[in-house]
């Protein structure tokens, strides 16, 4: 069992997994979002090869209004 | 009068850059932006919710406006955060433009110049077109130019304060010393006359949000700012008369009636 912080919420998974898999499990299919792992940007092209492990922090962001 | 100016590799007609936050509703935001004539809007990133779709709805409205996007790094407190946010913004918004904003103090939301400068150096080296939010300090401005910026955005006054241009001397000095750098006033504009003044000082444009979004009638206020910025720019181009410490009659005295001449 691993624990991952996703947008500030602690989530559990059976074992380490690919970022692409995590996003699918969280309900993020193809859409308008960007991702950072442990506070570093992960490009869309790297979701498949990025491994998420115990203690990782994932931020999933979307467009919002701004000044 | 066509007064096109180039900034960040784009040619624009409007010198008003406008934010997308704080409007009473998305439709008022859209109408206000259209009324403003602005060709650039600021936008940001927030935590997503897979089920809400809120971000997509908002972004659809913005995209339909057909304007340039200027993503910001609002909420960042370090160079590292700002750099990563900029990279994310580049991917999702498909632009190299980034409004670099690293906050150094929560009281007045003053930018952290040291962290901003580190971020600016890195982002410029990564090919971003950096629009840095800075204080109105000449030496700070120089540091950002040295870091590779050809655009500077000194504050007029603290974000959302509506206090206008706090220190015209400093702003004039930056304009004077950097004639070839694109200068926008970012933050603090409260009313159209503040924008007029910024353009009269020779600033290339103004970036604002609260002054329009928080007006009782944001759409009408957007028009007021559109007109103000055109007016200020025209005044700058026309060349304003110098202030004088004495009166000088504007009506010609030749041919005045004798009773006027007797009194002089």
Q: pTM (2 decimals)?
A: 0.92
DSSP-assigned letters across all residues of chain B: ----EEETTEEES--EEE---S-SSHHHHHHHHHHHT-SEEEEEEEE--TTT-HHHHHHHHHHHTT-EEEEB-TTB-SHHHHHHHHHHHHHHH--SEEEE-BB--TTT--B-HHHHHHHHHHHHHTT-EEEEEE-S-HHHHHHHHHTT-SEEEE-SSSTT-----S-HHHHHHHHHH-TTSEEEEES---SHHHHHHHHHTT-SEEEESHHHHTSSSHHHHHHHHHHHHHHHHHHHHH-PPPP-SS----S--TT--HHHHHH-
Average pLDDT over residues B65-72: 97
Q: Does the pLDDT of residue A45 top 90, yes or no?
A: yes
Residue A19 distance to chain B (closest CA, Å): 15
Asked if B84 and A43 come within 8 Å (Cβ–Cβ), the reply is: no
Best probe of the A interface among B62, B88, B95, by most A CBs < 10 A, is: B88
Q: Which of B13, B99, B191, B243 is catalytic?
A: B99
Q: What is the mean pLDDT of chain B?
A: 94
Of B152, B206, B213, nearest in space to B179 by CA: B152
B218 to chain A: which residues are within 8 Å by CB?
none
pLDDT per residue over B158-198, tens digit each?
999 999 999 999 999 999 999 999 999 999 999 999 999 99
Residue B261: predicted pLDDT = 66
B88 to chain A: which residues are within 8 Å by CB?
34-36, 41, 61
Give the count of beta carbons closer than 10 Å to the beta carbon of residue B199. 24
Average pLDDT over residues A41-61: 96
Check: CB of residue B100 under 8 Å from CB of residue B67.
no
């Amino acid at each position: 069992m691993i624990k991952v912080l996703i947008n500030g919420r602690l989530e559990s998974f059976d074992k380490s997994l690919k970022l692409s898999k995590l996003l699918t499990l969280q309900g993020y299919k193809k859409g308008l979002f960007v991702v950072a792992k442990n506070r570093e940007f992960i490009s869309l092209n790297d979701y498949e090869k990025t491994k998420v492990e115990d203690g990782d922090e994932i931020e999933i962001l979307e467009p919002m209004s701004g000044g | 009068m066509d007064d096109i100016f180039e900034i960040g590799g784009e040619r624009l007609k409007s010198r008003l850059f406008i934010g997308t936050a704080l409007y009473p509703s998305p439709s008022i935001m859209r109408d206000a932006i259209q009324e403003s004539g602005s060709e650039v809007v600021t936008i940001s990133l927030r935590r997503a919710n897979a089920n809400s779709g809120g971000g997509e709805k908002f972004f659809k409205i913005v995209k339909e406006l057909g304007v340039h996007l200027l993503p910001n790094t609002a909420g960042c407190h370090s160079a590292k955060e700002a750099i990563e946010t900029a990279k994310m913004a580049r991917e999702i918004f498909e632009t190299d433009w980034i409004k670099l904003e690293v906050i150094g103090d929560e009281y007045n939301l003053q930018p952290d110049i040291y962290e901003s400068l580190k971020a600016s150096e890195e982002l410029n080296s990564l090919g971003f077109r950096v629009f840095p939010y800075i204080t109105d300090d000449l030496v700070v401005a120089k540091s950002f130019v040295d870091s590779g910026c050809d655009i500077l955005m000194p504050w007029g006054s603290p974000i959302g304060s509506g206090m206008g241009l706090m220190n015209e001397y400093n702003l004039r000095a930056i304009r004077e010393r950097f004639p070839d750098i694109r200068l926008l006033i970012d933050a603090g504009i409260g009313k159209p006359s503040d924008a007029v003044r910024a353009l009269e000082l020779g600033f290339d444009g103004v970036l604002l949000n609260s002054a329009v979004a928080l007006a009782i009638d944001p759409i009408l206020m957007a028009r007021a700012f559109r007109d103000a910025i055109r007016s200020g720019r025209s005044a700058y181009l026309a060349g304003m008369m110098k202030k004088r410490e004495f009166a000088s009659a504007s009506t010609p005295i030749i041919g005045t009636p004798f009773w006027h001449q007797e009194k002089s």
